Structure 1
Amino acid sequence: MAMVTFATKQDPWTTDDTMGTASSHLRVAGQKGGLWATIEAILKEKIRPLFTKQRNPKITSEGRKNFHPVPLARFDGSVLDDSTRPWKNTAIYTTSVLSWIISQYTATDKMHLESHFPLLVPAILSLIDDSNISFKAQGCQLLTQLLKSIRESGSDILIRTNLISVFEEAITPCLLSLPTITPEADSLKILRVAYPVLIDLLEAAYKTPSLRTPQSQIKKDKESFNTSLAKILRSNLISSFNHISSSSSISGSNASFPHPLLSTFLMTRICAVLNKLGIETTKYLQDIIPVLQMTLSNPFGTSDPALLSVAVSTTRAVILNAHPRIWKWRGELLAALCACWLHVSEESKDKEKGKALVGVSKQLRITVSLLKCTLQNPAAVSNGALDADQVYAKEHMDAELKELVDADPQLEQLLGPAVTL
């Protein structure tokens, strides 16, 4: 226990010397054998007692989902009593010990992982459910480690224990830690671990089929995965992005982004989810494209090139993943890209500002080239035939682009010859 406490460099009390000494002792102890017996003893005798005063009604003592939980009192005074949570004050080494233990499971340690799983779950859930952002983040990091071990070992322990929904219900409230109630720095701290661990949870639950899994179940799991991803996209990512932004019109012409770092992070996660959804992205274009319009059309967007760059990348992800339906939204996309180009061109007249926007300009040209390529190569619909509207968009594309260039010659560089992708 003492050596493990000093084996993590991220802990503020650990120095290079203490970590070197601890790692050396742990290496020698591991070579002597009895590692798993020691780990089990630590979990049962040292870690579990720290969390017994704070029982989670959603799980049983065997580490399974409790289908008939006894609801807690509407207001429980123990919530404000840290004496029931010794891991927050006296046993502050707890998370370091748990992190080290979870790091010991390899792809061949499935049996040990599953036997220790009921001992790990209550501790991780207690950390995630805590009111303190730092402990929430540590709980999410531990769960990320555990899910990685579960996937590598090919275990279906999450399915057998029915704990997927329990973990989801614990993580989802973390996604509501947004300004102005939560400071931007704290919000980023928790969201940077909460969103990835929620995706990891879904992948561990629905995208780790065994050789014996029937095709019908694989298909059902894929549908469940996509449904859960879509819920995260619409109910959390997009709604959170809109919440921390301010706009007085649907078009987003008066939009502002008072929390640029957080807006950039959320846009990055939106892009990642779209790439995982693939063709399913087409179902949610009516939710995604207004967000892109609001961001790209922002007249003050050039003050934050990072957010603009991510928004352009997300636009490319939309075009690539939802290409069969892009023709229907070409007007909105072109309007947003052209507005962004004009703002960037105006700011680029200042040499200092222009340097930071060079990358955005190139990305805009690449994105427009991709959009033009998509419109020129419509996707076949039912029976292999082309939709009449797609054909119309293809045949009139050049005329529509020329109309835009005639309206503002500055768009010639953007809408003119294609660039190398």
Structure 2
Amino acid sequence: MDTNNSHTRDAMDTEDILSVLSTQSTAPESASTSTLRNQAHALISRSTDESVLPATLLDLLTQVIKPLFTNTKHPSLTSTGRKNLVPNSPSFGPSYPTLSDHYETSKPWKTTGFTVPLLRYILDSYSALPSTSRKQTLESHFHLLVPPILNMIDDTDPSYKATGCRLLHTLGEVLVSVQSDMLKRTGLGDVFVHALKGNLTLLPTLTPEDESLSVLRELYPAYIALVDAMFCYSSSPSKLTSAESKARDDLLTSLYRHGIMASLEHLSSATSFSSTISVSLTVFLLRQVPPVIERMGISSVRHLKGLLPMVRAGLMDPFILVAPEMVSAVLDVVECVISVCTPRVKEKWYPEILRGLVGCWCNCIDENEGSGTTSASKYLPETMTRLTKVVKMLGDIVDETEWKDVTRRLVDEEPDLKELFEQDEQDS
């Protein structure tokens, strides 16, 4: 595997990066690139003391990384890596390869085998710095880190898009760890948001499923990490000003509506998740709902009107049992909603959730009473156990008398539901 496009998240330590720099690329390498490779190796080899690590990282960024990206100008950045205040042409979605993209002479960073590993090494190294100098060092290097990451995200090659998102994710985590407000102070948070949003539409059938997954699996975590980093200078979201809280909520809402929900609607029919053109992508997108809902907090109740009927319909669809990972993802969403939006669920939405859980349970019973040889049948015990736990969780937040009355009537109508509510009855 080309180390430039490796998807591993393991930390890149000194021994690893020196090994990469000692290994010649399989692709033809220009003399200037070889010089940069040797220069990087020499700089890291000499950096045996953590006291000189900040200077080494700066030298790597200015003497090795920057020359590799010199010819790759990003319209949203100035030549010094700051936000370009001159308005750019509007974006009409992700960029796609053109004939000129096959000629990479202007992008030497794509023909080396060490660009990405070296950037990973640099980003990972900030965590190794003494806490007293970590924040200052990172902030002084920040404008040098932005251009390579942003250019990768906006590259036409899906593997580099994914890599850029992964590097942004790491940068966001480092910024959070030192509670730096650099993204706010420089205005570059919005630039990154714009770049990520431009790739949310990389979906089948225009984009092959494997390429879509490779990018989106990195993009969504990167977006979340970016939002966290944009407001990490406050120790808690509750301590943000009203304007900051609204800005944060707007970013999360945009990801939820224009990313997750729009993509789910694109992939699936209006009736159920199970009629999707990509099970893997649908499951992945469903798993992105809880992190967003959790960060929105109670303000996410405004999305329940659109979310819960869709969740209920998905759970009631018997065909969803063929994809147990999808059932699990939907139940993750339900648990998150119950936990985060407890007052509103108790007041209004618990019947909708209960309908879905009951419908799914009945479908499990029917499947169990069938031939028992389908691919879904072996996962039924696990699914049914999970359903009882979620029902118990739901029952715990509803008025006890009301819950007993509802469940009693349901069991009277359908005796097979007794086992679904048994755990709840035992604990009451």
Class of the TM-score when normalised by the shorter of the 2 chains: 0.7 to 0.9
Partner residue of 1:65? 83
- Alignment pair present for 1:168 and 2:193: yes
Q: Is the 8 A contact 2:213 2:281 kept in 1?
A: yes
Partner residue of 1:158? 183
- Report deviation, 1:151: 1.9
Give a deviation string over 1:303-332, Cα, whole Å, max 9, x none.
111110221121121122212222422332
- Report deviation, 1:130: 0.5
Q: 1:12 to 1:180 in 2, by over 3 A?
A: farther
Match of 2:383, as an amino acid? V
- Report deviation, 1:357: 1.9
- Alignment pair present for 1:348 and 2:368: yes
Compute the TM-score of the two structures, normalised by the length of structure 1: 0.81
- Report deviation, 1:215: 8.7
Q: 1:133 to 1:325 in 2, by over 3 A?
A: same
Q: 2:230 aligns with which of 183, 205, 213?
A: 205
Q: 1:100 aligns with which of 116, 121, 140?
A: 121
- Report deviation, 1:399: 4.0
- Report deviation, 1:300: 0.8
Partner residue of 1:324? 343
Classify the secondary structure of the residue corresponding to 1:105.
Answer: helix
Partner residue of 2:66? 48
Give a deviation string over 1:187-230, Cα, whole Å, max 9, x none.
221111111111111111113327xx999754543332223212
Partner residue of 1:224? 247
Which consecutive unaligned segments of at least 5 residues does structure 1 have? 14-23, 378-393
Q: 1:72 to 1:346 in 2, by over 3 A?
A: closer
- Alignment pair present for 1:409 and 2:428: no
Report matched runs for 1:3-82 at 5 Å.
4=17, 6-7=19-20, 29-31=46-48, 34-69=52-87, 71=89, 81-82=103-104
- Alignment pair present for 1:149 and 2:162: no
- Report deviation, 1:5: 5.9
- Report deviation, 1:52: 2.1
- Report deviation, 1:420: 5.9
Report matched runs for 1:365-384 at 5 Å.
365-376=388-399
Compute the TM-score of the two structures, normalised by the length of structure 2: 0.80
Report matched runs for 1:105-124 at 5 Å.
105-106=126-127, 107=131, 108-124=133-149
- Report deviation, 1:126: 0.5
Match of 1:30, as an amino acid? S
Partner residue of 1:85? 107
Classify the secondary structure of the residue corresponding to 2:317.
Answer: coil
- Alignment pair present for 1:126 and 2:151: yes
Q: 2:356 aligns with which of 325, 328, 336?
A: 336
% identity of equivalent residues: 31
Aligned-CA RMSD value: 3.4
Q: 1:70 to 1:318 in 2, by over 3 A?
A: closer
Which consecutive unaligned segments of at least 5 residues does structure 2 have? 1-13, 27-40
Q: 1:216 to 1:339 in 2, by over 3 A?
A: closer
- Alignment pair present for 1:184 and 2:209: yes
Q: 1:351 to 1:239 in 2, by over 3 A?
A: same
Q: Is the 8 A contact 1:289 1:332 kept in 2?
A: yes
Give a deviation string over 1:234-263, Cα, whole Å, max 9, x none.
22112212211124x4xx4x9513322221
Partner residue of 1:270? 289
2-side partners of 1:72 and 1:277: how far apart? 29
Number of corresponding residues = 387
2-side partners of 1:235 and 1:308: how far apart? 23
Q: Is the 8 A contact 1:202 1:225 kept in 2?
A: yes
Of 121-130 and 34-43, more deviation after overlay is shown by 34-43
Match of 2:118, as an amino acid? V
Q: Is the 8 A contact 2:237 2:245 kept in 1?
A: no
Classify the secondary structure of the residue corresponding to 1:104.
Answer: helix
- Report deviation, 1:169: 0.5
2-side partners of 1:77 and 1:183: how far apart? 19
- Report deviation, 1:269: 1.0
Q: 1:241 aligns with which of 243, 264, 271?
A: 264
Give a deviation string over 1:357-401, Cα, whole Å, max 9, x none.
212111211222222222216xxxxxxxxxxxxxxxx64x44443
2-side partners of 1:243 and 1:324: how far apart? 31
1-side partners of 2:44 and 2:117: how far apart? 17
Partner residue of 1:296? 315
2-side partners of 1:143 and 1:5: how far apart? 23
Classify the secondary structure of the residue corresponding to 1:43.
Answer: helix
Classify the secondary structure of the residue corresponding to 2:190.
Answer: helix
Partner residue of 2:301? 282
Q: Is the 8 A contact 1:140 1:194 kept in 2?
A: yes
Match of 1:66, as an amino acid? N
Q: Is the 8 A contact 2:47 2:56 kept in 1?
A: no
- Report deviation, 1:416: 4.8
- Report deviation, 1:409: 2.2
Q: 1:286 to 1:35 in 2, by over 3 A?
A: same
2-side partners of 1:244 and 1:235: how far apart? 13
Q: 1:289 to 1:355 in 2, by over 3 A?
A: same
Q: Is the 8 A contact 1:296 1:337 kept in 2?
A: yes
